[in-house]
Amino acid sequence: MPRTPAILSSHWRQLLAVIAPPLALASLLQSLITMFTAGDRGIVFHGELIGPTGLQDVVGALIWLVAWLIAISAGVVVAAGAARDLHVGPAAAVRYALSRLHHTGFVAIQGIIAGLLLLLLLGIAMGVVGWMALVALVFIAVLLARLAVALPSALLQGPGYLSRAHDVTRGRALYPGFIFVLGFVVLPGGASWLTGLLRGLPDSPALAAPIALAALALVVAVVAVQAVTLTVVYLEPRVEGDPHPAADLAAVDATLTGVGGREAGAGLLGLAGLAVAAPALIGLLVAFINPYAAPVLDEASVPTGHVRLAGVGVAPDGRPVAITEQQIFTCEDTDCQSGTHQRDTVGASRSETVLDDGSIVGIDRDSTQAVLTVCAREGSCKQAKFPLPKLGFQWQSAALTVTPHGTLVIVAVVEYESSTDVVLWRCPGLDCSRASQTYIQPYFSLMGNDVEPIIAIGQSPQGFPVVAWGRRDAQLIHMARCDDEACTHVQRDTRTAYPPVTSSVPDAVQEVGGFGIDRQGKLVVAIVSRRPQQGFGIRFSIGEFDRIALVRCDTDDCRRRSARRPWHRLDDYRGERIWVAFTPDNSPVLVHAGDSTGVARVITCVQNCTTGWG
């Protein structure tokens, strides 16, 4: 009997003709669902319209399950015809697969339920004894392989397929188990990894359709291998002397003869190819038309070398700037797609900011003085030390800005002998030898928790300082607004519980990733819907975690807010800070610190950036 490679090489046209159309139709339906449900919560990223998560994900998963069942069933019929040297037409194979969908669907539901229960068993085994997990894994593979073999049994021989699948695999269960792991775990996992690499290519609308086409082609190839492999395992004859039963080849031949059908002509193959290309082309067209005027986002990577980010800003010409404790990374263009210009800074600063003239100012402290670092726009960096009043023992966090009149404003969470307070200093120009100090209020922290606070400073439209501070593990963000540039009067302790953004993933945990003050003096919070911490057992969820949403306070007291659409997704969020800065036209720029990976991700908005604000 022909083996899997021989059938794939000799009958790939017939397999393509029966497997590609159902999967392409599922991809097309998923694109249409996204288009009709995105509304004001979608984004365009990498040339693709990305909608919110929710019920549409469940519907999409069901559509893909049905399409996979039809595709693999038709593929099994074609592969069986090849193995038995009987002709089966592609159109007839698809019709037959549809007619047996109630049987194959029942097999699939049993497989899903059994898989979930067996994975739970694996989780229990891993929590008890390590070697038991290996035993449980082998047991799971063998049992699921028998259920998988029930699929060709149901298609090729009819009723009694479950018991027949058990009989066919009896005495050689490890071989089907190995094949199952290879075809249904390793191969799809490798295809998923390769698809992720493709989608991680540089952002370009011209690449969006080819990448989507390649991803769908990978799925088609995987299903073809699965169909042929299951068929070969089911039809495998017993060796001489083996008393266990094998598939009834006469019954299989009778079924295949009844299916019949015509050869796959060039027109049918062309239609299959068009079906594969159609979802990619339609997805590209939808993203190009952008019917909901969704924000169009770009993303770029900046290798920071595992060095802590000290600040993020935007140059006067709109280019994002990321500053670590050792280097300054300036993007070559406004969306950071052309790389970055890198130069060294002097020493390490706790906080740095980009001024309107493009120069960079950083602030830190040593044991007795404040250390101010000033880097010219394209020149060298210089340092100066000043004895700020009430410097305290230690700064937990700091931020700074320069007002339109040239006043340098520094704010920090300062540890004193008996308290921890939020304190503001004002320096005339960049000379802090004559700085004045303003006490804001005590800093409320959680005892015994070492999470570093976030503090941000900006300006009101009048140029008066606006300060916000809080912790990413707390529910409150505190705000203070100066009523004049000298901060002689401060509206203190405007507390705002950051509002939860409606998440369609039921068990998502929402937390503050970071926040900033925009160019109108409004607080903007980046909220991340995170995957909950995994306890004992196994958790299954449909939908994406690690989605960023932006929430803007539309009023000074933050009682009226605008929750922007889920603004982006993070593939590897591990709790690092998300820095929030703003371009000259007040479009947000987000930088995911990526301390654990050594690569910061710069997320910019290039079109429709104000859509969704109040």
Q: What is the DSSP string of 282-350?
A: HHHHHHHH-TT-PPEEEEEEEE-TTPPEEEEEE-TTS-EEEEESSEEEEESSTTSTT-EEEEE-SS--S
Q: Which residues contact 29 (CB under 8 A, 6 or more apart)?
A: 60, 63
- Tell me what pLDDT residue 517 has: 92
> Residue 258, class by beta-carbon neighbours within 10 Å (0-12 exposed, 13-18 middle, 19+ buried)?
exposed
Contact call for residues 555 and 488 (beta carbons, < 8 A):
no
Cross-strand pairs, 489: none
User: Is 508 in a helix, a strand, or coil?
Assistant: coil
Contact call for residues 501 and 551 (beta carbons, < 8 A):
yes
Return d(Cα 175, Cα 556) in angstroms, integer: 68
Q: Which residues of the chain have pLDDT under 50?
A: 446-448, 504, 535-538, 614
Q: Which residues contact 604 (CB under 8 A, 6 or more apart)?
A: 297, 298, 299, 300, 320, 334, 335, 336, 587, 589
Return d(Cα 312, Cα 299) in angstroms, integer: 15
The DSSP secondary structure of 561-601, one letter per residue, reads: EEEEEEEEE-SS--S--EEEEE-TT--EEEEE--TTTTEEE
The DSSP secondary structure of 163-188, one letter per residue, reads: HHHHHHHTT-THHHHHHHHIIIIIHH
Nearest 5°: the CA angle 596, 597, 599 is: 125
Sign of CA pseudo-dihedral 450, 324, 316, 395: positive
Return d(Cα 371, Cα 146) in angstroms, integer: 70
**At residue 212, what is the residue type?**
A
User: Quick one: angle between helices 90-99 and 101-128, nearest 10?
Assistant: 70
- Tell me what pLDDT residue 536 has: 46
- Tell me what pLDDT residue 425 has: 92
- Tell me what pLDDT residue 474 has: 66
Contact call for residues 448 and 467 (beta carbons, < 8 A):
no
User: Residues of 1-21 as b/e, b for ≥16 C-beta within 10 angstroms?
Assistant: ebebeebbeebebbbbbbbbb
User: Is 49 in a helix, a strand, or coil?
Assistant: strand
What is the location of CATH 2.120.10.30 in the chain?
A: 296-607
Return d(Cα 359, Cα 429) in angstroms, integer: 13
Return d(Cα 303, Cα 327) in angstroms, integer: 11
Helix (H) or strand (E) holding 251: helix 249-259
Q: Which residues contact 451 (CB under 8 A, 6 or more apart)?
A: 471, 472, 473
User: Is 9 in a helix, a strand, or coil?
Assistant: helix
Distance of CA 179 to the CA centre of its chain: 31
User: Is 248 in a helix, a strand, or coil?
Assistant: coil
Return d(Cα 223, Cα 72) in angstroms, integer: 6
* Encoded tokens for 201: 């290519």
Farthest CA pair distance, the chain: 99
- Tell me what pLDDT residue 424 has: 92
| Tokens 């019920």 belong to residue | 55
- Tell me what pLDDT residue 495 has: 63
**At residue 263, what is the residue type?**
E
- pTM of model > 0.75: no
Return d(Cα 388, Cα 366) in angstroms, integer: 11
Return d(Cα 237, Cα 246) in angstroms, integer: 6
- Tell me what pLDDT residue 614 has: 42
Edge-first strand order for the sheet with 351-354 is: 351-354, 360-365, 370-375, 381-386
Architecture of domain 296-607 in CATH? 6 Propeller (2.120)
| Tokens 């005590």 belong to residue | 442
User: Is 505 in a helix, a strand, or coil?
Assistant: coil
